[in-house]
Amino acid sequence: MTSTTVTGRRSAGDRGSAPGGLPLTRVSGVGLGVAMLWFSLLVLIPLAAVAVTASEGGWSQFWRTVTQEQTAAAIELTVGTAFLVTLVNIVMGTAIAWVLVRDRFTGKRVLEILIDIPFALPTIVAGLVLLSLYGPKSPLGVNIANTRTAVFLAFLFVTLPFVVRTVQPVLAELDREAEEAAASLGARRFTIFRRIILPGLTPAIAAGAALSFARGVSEYGSLVLLSGNLPMHTEVASVRILSSIENDNPENAAAVAVVLLAISFVVIVAVDVLQRRMVRRG
């Protein structure tokens, strides 16, 4: 009799609890509802609309669109360049974060501000800057306009801050006692970095890499002036989407957008799973 009563009380109490075990109050419930409504209006509903538009012609039409030679070349260039840029950002972004956290030098605060410029600068302005520096009238004597190198450079510019800003706070919070202990035992600097520092930084590096890749896949403004948008050569997926819209073909534009969305989603989910596994391992 007693056990039945206790069970009934626990069941009744569990109904008002959040998944984490904490009760969901009226205020938190309203907050959750408002957050989900706002998220749905800004993200879920528009994404669903794009997916519906892409599926209007059926699977066969969708497949013909994304495998059409020019479209496939644009997607391949976009994804491939974003992947290569992400690899560069993993190395250089981590190195820059290390310099900002571990070193002291004149002009450090200026560098901190400059790193965030790609966040604040309109991408079309970034494209104009890059064209001025690396276009036909380059003061440096370097002309990469209308080449795939221009696409690579534009992606590098807009994705620079992501790895830096995700790694920097984690590196600043790392306990340096373990490094000092390893050094006192004769461990080399590279060994200390590989065995002690890098495992703690890996989740942050992975998160920054995922953001960098997703940002590169979606880029348009910074490269539209410099790359020349040459079909089968320097045309990226975002430009291909714009071309479809201008030709009054929203189904094709939505199909390419869904492919980019799916690729970015898979990358972000894979990184999230990797981070969770690393956290469990400690």
49-53, 147-151, 185-189, 271-275: the lowest-pLDDT one:
271-275
- Give φ, ψ of 173 to 5 degrees: -90, -5
Residues 37 and 170 in one domain: no
* Rounded Cα distance, 92 and 86, in Å: 10
* Secondary structure of residue 106 in the 3-state scheme: coil
Residues 69 and 51 in one domain: no
The residues pairing with 23 across neighbouring beta strands, listed in sequence order, are: 17
Residues for the chain: how many in total? 282
**How many domains does the structure of the chain reveal?**
2
Nearest in space to 203 (alpha carbons), one of 171, 158, 250: 171
Residues 228 and 128 in one domain: yes
Identify residue 34 by its one-letter amino acid code: V
Provide the residue range defining the domain that includes 30: 26-55
Residues 30 and 110 in one domain: no
Specify the pLDDT at position 254. Answer: 92
Identify the band that residue 12 occupies on the pLDDT scale cut at 50, 70 and 90. very low
Q: Which residues contact 267 (CB under 8 A, 6 or more apart)?
A: 210, 213, 214
Residues 164 and 186 in one domain: yes
pLDDT in tens, 93-136: 999 999 999 888 888 889 888 898 888 888 889 889 899 999 89
The residue whose two tokens read 């002036």 is 225
pTM passes above 0.85: no
Specify the pLDDT at position 68. Answer: 92
Residues 82 and 38 in one domain: no
Answer for the pair 195, 188: CB distance below 8 angstroms, yes or no. no
Query: What percent of the chain clears pLDDT 90, i.e. is strictly above it?
Result: 33
Torsion sign (Cα): 216, 220, 221, 227: positive
Q: Please spell the DSSP secondary structure of 177-227, one letter per residue.
A: HHHHHHHHTT--HHHHIIIIIHHHHHHHHHHHHHHHHHHHHT--HHHHTTS
- Out of 37, 55, 73, pick the residue that ends a domain: 55
Identify the band that residue 152 occupies on the pLDDT scale cut at 50, 70 and 90. very high
Across all residues in the chain, what is the average pLDDT? 85
Residues 140 and 51 in one domain: no
214-223, 229-238, 266-275: the lowest-pLDDT one:
266-275
pLDDT in tens, 61-104: 889 989 999 999 999 999 999 999 999 999 999 999 999 998 88
